[in-house]
Amino acid sequence: MASGGTEDLERPTFKSPVWEHFGFPVKLNSGGKRLVDKTVTVCRHCGTRKPYNSGNTSSMATHLQRHHPGVSLTGVKPKAAQQPLITAAFKQPLPPQSDRAKAITNAIGLFIGADMRPYSVVQNKGFKHMLNVLEPRYDIPSRTHFSDNIVPGLYEQEKKKVVDELAVAPSVALTTDGWTSRGTVSYVTITAHFITADWEMRSPVLQTRPLYERHTGSHLAQVLTQAVEEWKIKRPTTNIPVTTDNAKNQINAVNEAGLGPQIGCFAHVVNLASQKGISVNRMDRLLGRIRKVVSYFHRSTTAAHVLKTRQEMLKLPTHKLIHDVPTRWNSTYDMLERYLEQQAAIYSALTDKTLKKNVKDIITLSDDDVRVAEEVLQVLKPLKTVTSLLSTETSPSVSMILPLKTRILQIHGSKCGRQHHHSRCQDCH
């Protein structure tokens, strides 16, 4: 097919409209046979030659748009026009190995670990919706990816930091605490305490491990020894003090592990002393009566409504009655204090005609009982204050024990007319 110029060009049968304006050059050999050169294309308008790779017409389309803008190229897009738009680029999925995707995945792992969230949170509809709003291009990995890779990896990173800090700390102390979960599984938690070179107190939790065997001193000693070895805490020239509760197996465990000195938890001492005090016969009977009254108002919605009505009538705070927990003596203090606060409303409610027939076995407190209860509250109040102070303190230390103990003895001495200091009051004991 001849061109409009002097050179003979052949138009291929390809569908692209660009071939209306370009063709392959044709030459005749010595025998007069036509030879088509398909490595080069020639513009029919100006004779410009373009290298040709099979199927690629973008360079020819660009040439026509730049130098022959009047020609029609319906359906042909030059290379520049084929670049994705910015909006389209933001709709492309993030490659899992990209820095952005890795940062988001690690942030989710930190969220799970730091806030103690279940791994299944990554499958929740609300969580997925939030991530889609924040980063539509991110495809969240499976829960097993977080449980098997991300969170364990973050744990190892943090563990290395703590081990490095412990290695340069001149001295380290430990505390242990045994507790039981709602699923009735026993655990022991070990926490380290040390001061950095910048005089910052650090208290990282080293481990929380389940205890499936009996809580003997030997077994607890093994747990302590393993923790000391795993976290590289052992010092050849310094001891490792360990604070525990006052149970015999805990004391034996510290000694068998070669650690020490063992320091009894002062809050636990206060707890044991308070429980012993409120378990004497007269107090036990008094508290039994109060528990029966509190249980009645907790069980009956009708009684609770009558009590609230009488509180409002007597202009008392509309507080609910508190039932104590056997393992927390301060809850017994709270129960007793709340009962005395609401005794007028309680007595008025129990004498209401709608409740009278159901309260035959409930005995209210006599005037003498109320007097004893008020005196007991005064004795226990300093112990409650000490317990609350130790429980809310983020970094309680041994230096708090002596001032608190002295204060308890001073208050106790003023109530019985003696100054005890460090001696024991036989009359008040």
Summarised one tens digit per residue, pLDDT across range 212-261 is 888 899 999 999 999 999 999 988 778 899 999 888 999 999 999 999 89
Q: What pLDDT, on the 0 to 100 scale, is given for residue 88?
A: 58
Contacts of 81 (CB under 8 A, 6+ apart): none
SS (H, E, C) 7-21: CEEECCCCCCHHHHC
Does the pLDDT at position 391 exceed 60?
Answer: yes
User: Nearest to residue 386, comparing CAs of 429, 329, 322?
Assistant: 329
CB 9 within 8 A of CB 44: yes
In degrees rounded to 5, what are phi and psi of residue 375?
-70, -40
Task: Please state the rounded mean pLDDT for residues 130-138.
Answer: 94
Task: Please state the rounded mean pLDDT for residues 394-414.
Answer: 77
Contacts of 188 (CB under 8 A, 6+ apart): 176, 177, 178, 179, 208, 209, 211, 220, 223
Does the pLDDT at position 285 exceed 70?
Answer: yes
Q: What band does 78 get if pLDDT is binned at 50, 70 and 90?
A: very low
Record the tokens describing residue 406, joined without a space: 């002295």
Q: What is the C-alpha R_g of the chain?
A: 41
In the three-class reduction of DSSP (H, G, I as helix; E, B as strand; rest coil), residue 359 is classed as: coil
Dist. CA 36–CA 41, nearest whole Å = 10
Comparing 423 with 340, the larger pLDDT belongs to 340
- Provide the b/e sequence for 47-66 (b: ≥16 CB within 10 Å): eeeeebeeeebbbbbbbbbe
Does the pLDDT at position 102 exceed 50?
Answer: yes
Comparing 106 with 38, the larger pLDDT belongs to 106
Contacts of 307 (CB under 8 A, 6+ apart): 297, 321, 342, 345, 346, 349
Q: What band does 429 get if pLDDT is binned at 50, 70 and 90?
A: very low
Segment among 22-31, 55-64, 86-95, 319-328 with least mean pLDDT: 86-95
Task: Please state the rounded mean pLDDT for residues 282-296.
Answer: 90
Q: What pLDDT, on the 0 to 100 scale, is given for residue 421?
A: 43
C-alpha pair distances (Å), 48 with each of 5, 42, 65, 176, 293: 11, 6, 14, 86, 105
Q: What pLDDT, on the 0 to 100 scale, is given for residue 1?
A: 45
Record the tokens describing residue 38, joined without a space: 């398909």
Q: What band does 57 get if pLDDT is binned at 50, 70 and 90?
A: confident
CB 123 within 8 A of CB 141: no
Contacts of 236 (CB under 8 A, 6+ apart): none
Segment among 5-14, 55-64, 179-188 with least mean pLDDT: 5-14
CB 290 within 8 A of CB 337: no
Q: What pLDDT, on the 0 to 100 scale, is given for residue 85?
A: 58
Comparing 184 with 397, the larger pLDDT belongs to 184
Q: What pLDDT, on the 0 to 100 scale, is given for residue 173?
A: 94
CB 176 within 8 A of CB 242: yes
Q: What pLDDT, on the 0 to 100 scale, is given for residue 268?
A: 84
> Domain ranges in the chain?
9-82, 99-163, 174-264, 271-391
Q: What pLDDT, on the 0 to 100 scale, is given for residue 413?
A: 66
- Return the ∠ at Cα 116 (arms to 114 and 118), rounded to 5°: 130
Record the tokens describing residue 323, joined without a space: 């039932």
Q: Give 163-201 pLDDT, tens digit per residue.
A: 999 999 989 999 999 888 888 899 999 999 999 988 999
In the three-class reduction of DSSP (H, G, I as helix; E, B as strand; rest coil), residue 355 is classed as: coil
**Sign of the torsion formed by the C-alpha atoms of 112, 117, 118 and 122:** negative
Question: Quick one: DSSP state of residue 192?
Answer: E
Record the tokens describing residue 158, joined without a space: 């943090």
In the three-class reduction of DSSP (H, G, I as helix; E, B as strand; rest coil), residue 147 is classed as: helix
